Amino acid sequence: MTTASRIEKDSMGEMSVPADALYGAQTARALHNFPVSGYRFPRPFLKALGMIKERAARVNLELGLLDNDRAMAIMEAAEDVIRGELDSHFVLDIFQTGSGTSTNMNANEVIANWAIQLSGGNMGTRAIHPNDHVNLGQSSNDVIPTTIHIAAAVEIRHSLIPALFALQEALGEKAEAFDDIIKIGRTHLQDATPIRMGQVFSGYARQIALANRRLEIALEGLFELALGGTAVGTGINTHPEFASRVIAGLAEVTGLPFREASNHFEAQAGKDALVYASGALKTCAAALFKICNDIRFLGSGPRCGLGELILPPVQPGSSIMPGKVNPVMAESLIQVCAQVIGNDSAITLGGLAGNFELNVMMPLMAHNLLESISLLTRGVTQFTNLCVKGLQADRRRCEDSVEQSLAMVTSLAPVIGYDRAAQIAKKAHENGKSVREMALEEQVLSAAELDRLLDPRPMTDPGIAAKEN
């Protein structure tokens, strides 16, 4: 921006605006009022907002509400917003008017002034008016929630779900590769009965598959758009066909089944679909947190920890301890998950702010929801590529610990009874012996019978041990 300025006007009077800024008086006022965080609406939001303005101009032209020259100029300017060529002119803070009116007007003013320039005119002349022409048939109260839904749905469907599917596939591949490796299970952080490493990873893969399924369900709510309700849901000052036509165009360009809200009063007063979508993201984060922590602990060591997994080394782990390598990819994604869970709290509080006919925390909800989607997408992608795909299992480490587990006595219980089995386990622990050694010493069963019952492989499948006759 240059130091030169121009004067623009709005309903409250004159405002000085940088000479080369495409925005106008209302944006300048909001820029003065809300220098709060430095957070700006992200690219997916601005792209979706540009899409709405482009389609609105097209439909208003078709309906005979906007003349050809203005409509074509607005559409061309909106295309530049969609492509990101005018992002530097979207200057407003997230923490602004709760309806997002300031940002809607930021878009209206930028598109109007750029359309004027594209038509050979001078900025600020209002030959193409931000309200009368660019915002025709619209209100911030239906445009902003529509923008959030479109941006979130596009990013979930086209970015996050594919990233999670790639992780699911990588975990599934490890489940197959590790299926013959027997390790000790753990419950309450204590030794439990044997389990195959492949079974462990199959559980992880299933968690991610279910996370994706929950996101697909959440998308259904996001596909309903508020556009057409204008100020309070009644549709005042908009053509009866405007919303359906615009939304059909948005569905076409995104490839997603967007539809007009069945009840515009719900769509503008409540933001339950955003809260629900955030809940699905939070649930996904909780699953990822568990998987990352398991992989961290299973890979702890390399000599004095569990050491059952070998994590790919991606960077030195310590500024003071030479040769140390840390599970940094898991740690990175864990922090992403924590942020997503925190964002969900803010989004939930935002959902409570549907006062009468309008929610007044939409910019906050937009920021946090889109940040969660973006963080999960990038965090999951890096974790998949730099950690999961390179995981190896230490077969010897896994299998050596199985024989020493006191939980091996579980397979004896159906044959010798729970109480007797508990006594064997207690004595084995007190004497530093294995269950096999203690059972032989106590002569509870023959060596051959113990070999059969204490074979760990059958313990990893359903069944009840039976005493041989």
Q: How does DSSP assign 240-278, residue by residue?
A: TTHHHHHHHHHHHHHTS--EE-S-HHHHHH--HHHHHHH
Helices 328-351 and 272-298, axial angle in degrees (round to 10):
160
Q: What is the pLDDT of residue 2?
A: 52
448 exposure class (CB count in 10 Å sphere: 0-12, 13-18, 19+): exposed
For residue 363, give the amino acid letter. P
183, β-bridge pairs: 195
Residue with tokens 């080369």: 20
For the chain, list residues with pLDDT below 70: 1-2, 466-469
Q: How far is CA 245 from CA 53, 61, 71, 298, 363, in A?
A: 13, 12, 16, 55, 26
β-strands 259-260, 224-225 pairing: parallel
| pLDDT value of position 465 | 72
Q: Are 49 and 125 in contact (CB under 8 A)?
A: no
Q: Report the predicted TM-score, pTM, of the whole model to 2 decimal places.
A: 0.96
Q: In the structure, how many helices (H) and strands (E) does the chain have?
A: 18, 10
Domains and CATH numbers, the chain: 21-121 (1.10.275.10), 142-222+270-396 (1.20.200.10), 405-459 (1.10.40.30)
In sequence order, which residues have a C-beta less than 8 Å from that of residue 57 and are 6 or more positions away? 66, 70, 71, 74, 75, 78, 133, 134, 136
Summarize the chain as % helix, strand, coil (round to 5): 60, 10, 30
458, amino acid identity: P
Q: Which residues pair with 13 in a beta bridge?
A: 10
DSSP H helices, 184-327, are: 197-222, 242-254, 264-269, 272-298
Q: Alpha helices of 303-361 — where are they, by DSSP H?
A: 328-351
Rounded to whole angstroms, how far apart are CA atoms 191 and 342? 33
CB neighbour list of residue 89: distance below 8 Å, 6 or more residues apart? 21, 22, 23, 106, 110
Query: Strand 224-225 and strand 190-196: pairing?
Result: unpaired
Q: Rounded to whole angstroms, how far apart are CA atoms 265 and 226? A: 9
Beta-bridge partner residues of 186: 191
Give the integer Cα–Cα distance in Å for 79 and 81: 5
Sequence length of the chain is 469
Residues involved in catalysis? 188, 318
